Amino acid sequence: MKHKFDSNLPIYLQVMEEIKKDIINKKYVLGDKIPSVRELALYYGANPNTIQKALSELEREGLLRSERAVGRYVTDQKERISVLKKEASDTIVENFIRNMKEIGFTKADIIKIIEKSKL
Amino acid sequence: MKHKFDSNLPIYLQVMEEIKKDIINKKYVLGDKIPSVRELALYYGANPNTIQKALSELEREGLLRSERAVGRYVTDQKERISVLKKEASDTIVENFIRNMKEIGFTKADIIKIIEKSKL
Amino acid sequence: MKHKFDSNLPIYLQVMEEIKKDIINKKYVLGDKIPSVRELALYYGANPNTIQKALSELEREGLLRSERAVGRYVTDQKERISVLKKEASDTIVENFIRNMKEIGFTKADIIKIIEKSKL
Amino acid sequence: MKHKFDSNLPIYLQVMEEIKKDIINKKYVLGDKIPSVRELALYYGANPNTIQKALSELEREGLLRSERAVGRYVTDQKERISVLKKEASDTIVENFIRNMKEIGFTKADIIKIIEKSKL
DNA sequence: GTGGTCTAGACCACT
DNA sequence: GTGGTCTAGACCACC
């Protein structure tokens, strides 16, 4: 199953976001092993090196931890995970409101638009 | 004044967005001449080639038209401009709601979050 | 000129060390541009990707800074550089003394041995 | 008790060094039997295969000899052992002095630094 | 020409 | 089979 990537953004960044979502949505659970580089490469239709880069970055960010010749695990630091969703939504909301205000909407406008939205 | 660009996204795309905002916000008015490539390059702290690419794209999209040796103008097609804001906000809103749902928020959650937001 | 690498240690780590030395020894001066990835790859007889990895790590450590399509520069933060030599020598000395003690030498022994050394 | 290994260096090389130290420090005495692969694997927290490789290498170097179905013994060649400490310290000292000179210290500097060291 | 990303394919140490 | 490293070769956005 090939994932559709936005060609304007580095794939490894998009993979990072996907995996973060999977952690937030508990598809990958605290302390659990995640699929191997090769499996993820297949799943995302990307090169193993690209996946490796994404995972290394997530490791640097403290979300994953790797065990040589064994596998990669979601960090078992509860607090690290608990703030993840908050961080993600904060960023998304801030960007959204900023973007909308930049094209001339007020906060009241924005709320009305979302209420009307069929999504 | 150097504009801050996201280094992960092509600069010419980011310039396009900025100019679209300026048209929506009527900083650049229907039928008006926009600043020269050189001026915009200086303003954005980007290379003239990059600005050129952004403007060419906007021309292709029908938002600008260029008059040889005179300058570039915002299109005078009224309808083209009138839908611009709607298109932009639709895209922004759709992306926002999709992103929020992907990390587990419902529409009701989203509205509450925006209402609470201090921005 | 091909550099000789220890095959037991990742090349990119060894390149990092070499470049750190070059900064400490002021071959690469504060704020100066360093050679391009391609030049360094040629110089070290390594693949450009390997060099890139080394340089990215040094960037993460705050020793280098890269400007897209322009080049890479030694950080201009004076303090960052000033502690570099101290850090390096501390690590080397600690490891050395630990290693020597582990095979049964006292500090007095160590000093005698160094004084006798012809290097 | 898990030994802490440098993840950048092959574990079997690090195990070899540890065992050499134990021979130098007479924890393992000339002609004595050393612990079994299984015991060492447990002690170092490494895989038996890895320990096996380290021991085979030490055999190749003439420091150990194995008796089939009985165990492994420290070589009883007195001269082989007697030079071991000298070889080890020579290597350590040479590397140390080279490293220090490469970051700009003179022999006099080096002696001062070691004398000041609290280790 | 410069940094950055990506693919394909390979080898290694380790479990 | 797993993570990690490396090479060769390519393309891109930007200056």
Closest-CA distance, C88 to chain D, in angstroms, reads 8
* Residues B34 and B74 sit within 8 Å (Cβ to Cβ): yes
Minimum Cα–Cα distance from A13: chain B residue = B8
The answer to whether A105 and B89 are in contact (CB under 8 A) is yes
Res. B4: pLDDT tops 90: no
Q: What angle do CA D32, D35, D41 make, to 5 degrees?
A: 155
Given a cut of 70, the residues of chain C with pLDDT beneath it are: 1-2
Checking B27-34 for CB contacts under 8 A at 24+ apart, the result is B28/B74, B29/B74, B30/B74, B30/B75, B30/B76, B30/B78, B30/B81, B31/B73, B31/B74, B31/B75, B31/B76, B32/B73, B32/B74, B33/B71, B33/B72, B33/B73, B34/B64, B34/B71, B34/B72, B34/B73, B34/B74
- Specify the pLDDT at position B76: 85
Q: Give how far A41 is from chain B: nearest CA, Å.
A: 21
Nearest chain A residue to B89 by CA distance is A100
pLDDT exceeds 70 at position D1: no
Residue type, A55: L
- Binned at pLDDT 50, 70 and 90, residue A2 comes out as low
Average pLDDT of A111-115? 92
Rounded to the nearest integer, the mean pLDDT of chain B is: 91
The span from the CA of C108 to the CA of C102, in Å, is: 14
> Given an 8 Å threshold on Cβ–Cβ distance, is D89 in contact with C107?
no
Distance of CA C73 to the CA centre of its chain: 16
Tell me what percent of the residues of chain A surpass a pLDDT of 90: 85
H or E segment to which residue C73 belongs: strand C71-74
Chains in contact with chain C (at least 3 beta-carbon pairs closer than 8 A):
D
B1 pLDDT higher than 60: no
* Confidence tier at D81 by pLDDT (50, 70, 90): confident
The answer to whether A85 contacts B103, with C-beta atoms less than 8 Å apart, is yes
Structure tokens at C58: 């040094």
Instruction: Report whether C75 contacts D94 (CB < 8 A).
Output: no
Residues B57-61 have a mean pLDDT of: 92
Q: Which of A9, A25, A96 sits opposite B92 (nearest CB)?
A: A96
Are the C-beta atoms of A21 and B102 separated by less than 8 Å? yes
Buried b (16+ CB within 10 A) or exposed e, B66-105: eeeeeebbbbeeeeebeebbeebbeebbeebbebbeebeb
Instruction: Pick the closest to residue D73 from D18, D36, D21, D24 (CA basis).
Output: D36
- pLDDT tier for residue D78 given thresholds of 50, 70 and 90: confident
Q: How many C-beta neighbours within 10 Å does residue B43 have?
A: 15
Question: What pLDDT score does D2 carry?
Answer: 67
Length D9 CA → F9 C1' (Å): 29
Q: Output the pLDDT for position B2.
A: 67
Q: Decide if A79 touches B, using CB distance below 8 A.
A: no
Q: What is the pLDDT of residue C81?
A: 86
The average pLDDT across D89-108 equals: 94
Chain B residues touching A13 at Cβ < 8 A: 8
B119 and A107 within 8 Å at the Cβ level: the answer is yes
Q: Which residues pair with C97 in a beta bridge?
A: none
For residue B68, the model assigns a pLDDT of 84
- When pLDDT is averaged across residues A94-106 and rounded to a whole number, the result is 93
List subunits contacting chain B, requiring 3 or more Cβ pairs under 8 Å. Answer: A
- Tell me, in Å, how far CA of B5 is from C1' of E6? 23
Query: Which residues of chain B lie closer than 8 angstroms to A103, CB-CB?
Result: 21, 24-25, 85, 88-89, 92
pLDDT of residue A118: 76
Q: What is the pLDDT of residue D76?
A: 85
Between the CA of D31 and the C1' of F4, what is the distance in angstroms?
Answer: 39
Task: For residue B45, give both structure tokens.
Answer: 């702290």
A113 contacts in chain B (CB < 8 Å) = 89, 93
Residue A1 clears pLDDT 70, i.e. is over it: no
Angle at the Cα of C68 from the Cα atoms of C63 and C74, rounded to 5 degrees: 20
Question: What percentage of chain D reaches a pLDDT higher than 90?
Answer: 71
C-alpha–C-alpha distance, residues C67 and C74, integer Å: 11
Q: What is the pTM of this model?
A: 0.91
Is D in contact with B (3 or more beta carbon pairs below 8 Å)? no
B28-42, B70-84, C18-32: which has the minimum mean pLDDT? B70-84
Token pair for residue A30? Answer: 């605290």
Task: Choose among A51, A36, A35: nearest CA to A3.
Answer: A51
Greater confidence (A18 vs C82) lies with: A18
